[in-house]
Homo-oligomer: A and B are copies of this chain.
């Protein structure tokens, strides 16, 4: 689904999410204080490769986001999972764990997750990277 933005032109759901995320993250770096910035740093740090590789950590981010039912968080981790080369079947199995843990209340979010996967598969690697640039 696309909505007509006041800035003109059409923007897909992924692009809308990415544009809002980029713009507000920048704004929050100006608005926030040291504690805010420390949280942001920590939120990057825990997904870096360590004893677990990045792909497992993104799947953890995805599954926790689905059970907590946050569409933007799910969209972000879907983009990352596709960037890191996870297959549809691998992502699906993580979503299935989250579906069973979190119940049918996650289904509307699962629908949007699968739509996001499909949209990511239509993008080039470069376009994907630009989303989270």
A42 touches B43 (CB 8 A): no
Interface residues on A, range: 35 or more
Binding site of A, secondary structure by majority: helix, strand, loop or mixed? helix
Contacts of A64 in B (CB 8 A): 63-64, 67, 97-98, 101-102, 105
Contacts of A101 in B (CB 8 A): 61, 64-65, 68, 73, 103-105
Q: Mark A residues whose CB is within 8 Å of B.
A: 1-6, 10, 16, 20-21, 24-25, 27-28, 31-36, 38-39, 41-43, 45-47, 50-52, 56-57, 59-61, 63-65, 67-73, 87-90, 92-94, 96-108, 110-112, 114-115, 117-118
Besides A60-B63, A65-B101, 4 new A-B residue pairs in contact (Cβ under 8 A), listed by A number: A27-B114, A61-B101, A68-B101, A68-B102
